[in-house]
Homo-oligomer: A and B are copies of this chain.
Amino acid sequence: MASTSSSTGTPCGACKFLRRKCTPDCVFAPYFCSEQGPEKFAAIHKVFGASNVSKLLLRIPAHHRSEPVVTIAYEAQARIQDPIHGCVAHILTLQQQVESLQAQLMQAKAQLAPNAIASPTVDLENQWQYLTHFN
């Protein structure tokens, strides 16, 4: 993640987008560089609002803020692409995939089970265990 030093006089991507002065303690500066930052921040601001994201980040210790920035940017982008479902569309797709795979796995296991019972190796093993147990 690109880091922008507001002390250099160049505003970070978020402040550039918001057209405000970038202070040395800017909460966005470590995550939004001056070049690609404004575009990335535009989606976040449109969906969540700069003020809400700033408050959210300030409640999280500084060394844990990069992950929420990534997840918030992802949610914002997903909501712009699909205003009705947002990233929940991804959750629904994955849930369907899980259900489908579970069904396929159950089917495969059901196919494996009778083979295992009918398998002579298993039968001989069972017989051997039975015999060694009583002898």
Complex CA gap A81/B68 in Å reads: 13
Complex contacts, A91 vs chain B, CB 8 Å: 87, 90-91, 94
> In the complex, how many residues of chain A place their beta carbon closer than 8 angstroms to a beta carbon of chain B?
38
Given contacts A48-B48, A48-B49, A91-B94, contact A83 B68 (CB under 8 A): yes
Query: Secondary structure at chain A's binding surface: helix, strand, loop or mixed?
Result: helix
Complex contacts, A95 vs chain B, CB 8 Å: 94
A contact residues vs B (CB 8 Å cutoff)? 46-49, 51-52, 56, 59-60, 64, 67-68, 71-72, 74-75, 79, 83-88, 90-91, 94-95, 97-98, 101-102, 104-105, 108-109, 111-112, 115
